[in-house]
């Protein structure tokens, strides 16, 4: 059985360590002075879209509850977060 020559360890066209250079030079001349951007005004958000500070809370669920939560969320197109917040709000409003 004859052995073939080993594959080269150098890829043709690839720069060796320390010899790398940019592949493409800029074709357009650099502007003499950068344009001054106009100050951007902050976007106006409706009150419901403003970000409020939140605190992360972890909830441990058994597998059956988790599967029911996932199933409900996918059927009704709501997130786990929305479901749990609504349930907590309802619970706290009754106590």
CA 42-45-46 angle, to 5 degrees, is 160
Is 69 a domain residue?
A: yes
Is 49 a domain residue?
A: no
Residues 69 and 61: beta-carbon distance below 8 Å: yes
Structural domain count, the chain: 1
Q: Which domain holds residue 68?
A: 62-95
At residue 89 the predicted structure's pLDDT band, cuts being 50, 70 and 90, is very high
Rounded CA gap, 78 and 48, in Å? 18
Q: What is the pLDDT of residues 4-23, one digit of tens each?
A: 887 767 776 777 777 877 76
Rounded CA gap, 8 and 14, in Å? 12
Is 75 a domain residue?
A: yes
Q: What is the pLDDT of residues 29-78, one digit of tens each?
A: 666 666 666 666 666 656 555 567 888 899 999 999 999 999 999 999 99
């Amino acid at each position: 059985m004859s052995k073939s020559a080993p594959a080269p360890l150098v890829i043709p066209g690839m720069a060796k360590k320390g010899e790398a250079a940019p592949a493409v030079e800029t074709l357009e001349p650099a502007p003499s002075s950068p344009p001054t951007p106009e100050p951007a005004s902050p976007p106006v958000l409706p009150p419901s879209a403003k970000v409020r500070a939140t605190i992360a809370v972890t909830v441990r669920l058994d597998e059956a509850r988790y599967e029911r939560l996932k199933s409900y969320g996918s059927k009704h197109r709501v997130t786990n977060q929305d479901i749990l917040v609504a349930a907590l709000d309802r619970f706290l409003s009754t106590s």
